[in-house]
A and B are shown apart, each in its own frame.
Chain A
Amino acid sequence: MQIDDYNNAAVFSQFPVYGLNSAEKQAFLQQRLNWLTHHHATHCPEYARLLTCIGEVNSPMCNIEHIDQVPPVAARLFKDYGLKSIKDEEVFRLMRSSGTSGRQSQIYLDADSAKLQSQILVKTLQHWLGKQRRPMLIIDAKETMQNKNGMSARAAGLQGMSFFGRNHCYALDENMQLRIDEVKSFIEQYHNQQIFIFGFTFIVWQQFIQALQSLGLKFNLQQAILIHGGGWKKMQQQAVDDKTFKQQINAQLGDVSVHDYYGMVEQTGTIYMQCEHGHLHCPVWSDVVVRDINSLAQLKNGQQGLLQVNSALPTSYPGHSILTEDLAVIHGEDDCPCGRLGKYFTLHGRVPNSQVRGCSDTFS
């Protein structure tokens, strides 16, 4: 491998999804993340000020020796400022986070970033789904995709995922109620094939699995796969954990392997899939660090703290290293029993929110 290749998207996008060990990944991401840091410091004045704040004023700014050292941008900043490293006329797509309350993140993509993101997403998912498109059952409503007020993260997720299926069937109607006849005939038609089911965790649980349960409907799928994401906040409110979720799905649907995923609009394209052992895995283009909430010092494996996500992809906005408000534990690197290389971790909720702004909110 040539050093230059590490910064050539045409080359690194071909890396095996979970195939580089710690040393190889370090060599790749150190080069790439340094390049991205310099790139954003040059093209995004807000990002340059963040580096200046911490004394990184010499050029090239903030050359790191280890990938754990990249200073992360707080995810909240994408809500408050239009951070981008491209000119206005180069904006190809504006992505917004799915948050229904409060301000949404705004992520600016140019054509190249959008293309790279979808390439990487395809590569990652093909690892789990294979290259053949499968009959696809979407646990959502067709109408969700047709919202004309800009693309929501949910719609973007559905659209991205629907690419991996064929003969799509939407399991819910515009009121998010089960379309029972359509689902029945879809499953009847394809029950011997490897069906791909996709939906957002809480919607799958409440609008699909619980609806089937209350109707007393069970199916006997063979080698189906369910991919779901979107977070556990509402599930925890109903005291449903990962294990219960999986058990109930198998009880209603039969042989389905269930995979949660974690990802965020701030790093679209980079997703963390859950393996058979319940661990979320970094693909080769990404790395994670867990930091102490007080000092932001890096924590050891097994310790819980704030999750930092580094990604080789973002070039149009300074999102290659982001400090999330999610709590996580890294369990190891390169040694998950599932055999995939890279760091693996689990999530443990979010830091409870307290965005109270002093006296300023009399009027609310």
Chain B
Amino acid sequence: MTHSLKFIEAVKWPLKTENFANPHNNLAWQNELVEAVAGFSTFILKQAELKQFPEIIALAYWFRPAHLKQLQTEQVASDKVRPLVGRAAGKVFHIAPANVDTVFLYSALLSVLCGNQNIVRISERSGDITSMLVELLKIYCQSPTGKLLANYLAVAEYSAQLENVTAQLSRWCDLRVIWGGDQSIAAISQIEPNTKQIEFPDRYSIALLSLNKDIKQTAQQFLTDVLPFNQQACSSPKAIYWLNVPEEKQQDFWLNIENLLPNSRNQLTMSNKVEQHILLQKLAVEHGIELANHTGKSFAKIKSIGPLGQCKVKNLTSEMLVAHSGNGLVLQTDIEDVAAIANSEKLQSVIIDDQTLGEALQVGKRFVQIGQALAFDTVWDGLDLIDVFALK
């Protein structure tokens, strides 16, 4: 089946070379392909001015040559790769979320490594980080090592209202990958409903802290997890469960946060602060959240710590955490036993500062060391992406 990928509608192609439309061989985990992807990482890490964007650096670090070599060795040894090589490349259509998260690019590049041709749809309202990444890809794909990548990766930008474009791309692909939220997934699933698809719906994450280690370091790691993407990524901690942590230690933690914040890059502004106040009221109206410490009619309901806000609550349900819209508000609650953590289908990462806690956890899809919450893993949301992208 051939599709010309020509559209009458307003579809922009920030990245698509003429050669992309030609048939390409499946080069799953072959040296030249691994080098083409690793080259993008090297290209990013060479740009000094990108150091100020931790999200981009993290992406480049993940795709660094040494790491890809390691994955390549595992894959080639696994016997899964050989039957694929030399066949026509599979076709994967990725629908990225607007505004937050670079995670869609991890999945797209991983799919490239698995031998597929990929089209990534980005929203015309995408955030700065996304635009910057697309621009970087464009430049890199013109370099000698990048040329090969361009055969396997294209980026389309169009409004989601253009459903026939989504339909056409869905017919083009062998697999459709949709990054949340739930409403988008429901809406897109209606378009060409027989398309094979994987989806990453709305998730929330929490931190479970015992503060048994260096508090300053823990505070720094917490900021690494909570600040990027305005706390709106699926893996951003929305709340801290304090596991038998005395109040003075918690205050020490927040004091450290306060001291570290001026040197921690973030994009939170005055309007996020207003959103924090509104969010607390919405959680009260909709889910009956109650503050634990209130001092009469004083108005300091949310304690403001630089651009972050924190408040301790009496009750913390998964519905509240699902409704939590980020913006830098950290809810907290004291617990004596991990069993007190509300489990939910929507709970993704449990971020821990004590390795021994992981074993006891019966909640969430993933537990992760503090400071690593946003780190990408080939198993995401319980799905082994390398397996999925092998398109058997």
**Chain A interface residues (CB < 8 Å from chain B):** 46, 49-50, 52-56, 62, 64, 69, 71, 73-74, 76-77, 80-81, 291, 293-298, 306, 323, 325, 351-364
Contact = CB atoms under 8 A, between A and B. Distances in A.
Given A296-B300, A354-B272, A362-B96, A76 B180 contact: no
A303 to B, nearest CB: 15
B280 A323 contact: no
Question: Which of A291, A298, A361 gathers the greatest number of chain B CB atoms within 10 Å?
Answer: A361
- The list of the 9 closest CB pairs from A to B, nearest first, reads A360-B181, A53-B284, A363-B184, A55-B294, A358-B232, A362-B184, A294-B304, A359-B97, A359-B180
B15 interface: no
Given A354-B269, A357-B325, A64 B278 contact: no
A359 B179 contact: yes
A353 B289 contact: no
Nearest to B229: A358
Nearest to A356: B99
A325 B270 CA distance: 11
Contact of A69 (B289, B297, B326): B297
Interface of B: 95-101, 123, 125, 159-160, 178-185, 187-188, 200, 202, 229-230, 232-234, 269-275, 277-278, 280-286, 288-291, 294, 297, 299-302, 304, 325-327
Contact of A364 (B160, B233, B288, B301): B160
Question: Which of B183, B184, B187, B285 gathers the greatest number of chain A CB atoms within 10 Å?
Answer: B285
Given A354-B269, A358-B233, A358-B326, A49 B101 contact: no
Contacts of A352: 269-271
A353 B97 contact: no
B303 to A, nearest CB: 8
Given A53-B280, A354-B271, A359 B232 contact: yes
A292 to B, nearest CB: 9
A240 B271 CA distance: 25
Question: Which of A55, A62, A294 gathers the greatest number of chain B CB atoms within 10 Å?
Answer: A294
Nearest to A66: B297
B284 A298 contact: no
Contacts of A298: 299
A351 B202 contact: no
B271 A351 contact: yes
B181 A362 contact: yes
B191 to A, nearest CB: 10
Given A296-B302, A358-B181, A359-B234, 20 more contacts: A53-B289, A54-B297, A62-B297, A74-B278, A293-B273, A294-B304, A296-B277, A296-B300, A297-B299, A323-B277, A351-B271, A355-B275, A357-B181, A358-B100, A359-B100, A359-B101, A360-B180, A360-B181, A361-B98, A361-B99
Contact of B98 (A54, A353, A362): A362
Given A296-B301, A297-B299, A77 B285 contact: yes
Contacts of B274: 293, 306, 325, 351
A361 B97 contact: yes
A69 B297 CA distance: 7
Contacts of A71: 297, 299
A321 to B, nearest CB: 12
B300 A361 contact: no
A293 B270 contact: yes
Contacts of B160: 362-364
B123 A364 contact: yes
Nearest to B309: A294
Nearest to B293: A55
Contacts of B202: 358-360
Contacts of A362: 95-98, 123, 160, 178-181, 184-185, 188
Contact of B230 (A53, A81, A356): A356
Contacts of B232: 356-359
Given A46-B285, A359-B232, A53 B290 contact: yes
Nearest to A364: B160
A76 B299 CA distance: 18
Contacts of B281: 50, 53, 73-74, 77
A73 to B, nearest CB: 7
B179 A351 contact: no
A323 B98 CA distance: 29
Question: Which of A53, A297, A353 gathers the greatest number of chain B CB atoms within 10 Å?
Answer: A53
13 contacts: A49-B288, A71-B297, A76-B278, A76-B282, A291-B299, A296-B277, A296-B300, A358-B234, A359-B179, A359-B200, A361-B97, A361-B98, A362-B98
Contacts of A77: 278, 281-282, 285
Given A73-B281, A298-B299, A359-B202, A364 B98 contact: yes
B320 to A, nearest CB: 11
Contacts of B294: 54-55
Contacts of A351: 270-271, 274
B304 A360 contact: no
Nearest to A47: B285
Contacts of B100: 356, 358-359
A295 B308 CA distance: 11
Contacts of A361: 97-99, 123, 125, 181, 184
A284 to B, nearest CB: 24
A297 B300 contact: yes
Given A53-B291, A55-B291, A356-B230, A363 B275 contact: no
Nearest to B294: A55
Contacts of A358: 97, 99-100, 181, 202, 229, 232-234, 325-326
Contact of B300 (A295, A355, A360): A295
Contacts of A49: 284-285, 288
A7 to B, nearest CB: 21
A81 B182 CA distance: 21
Nearest to A50: B284
A94 B180 CA distance: 35
B15 to A, nearest CB: 19
Question: Which of A64, A325, A356 gathers the greatest number of chain B CB atoms within 10 Å?
Answer: A356
Nearest to A55: B294
Nearest to B284: A53
A127 to B, nearest CB: 33
A356 B328 CA distance: 13
Contacts of B99: 356, 358, 361
Contacts of A46: 285
A55 B290 contact: yes
Nearest to B297: A69
Nearest to A54: B294
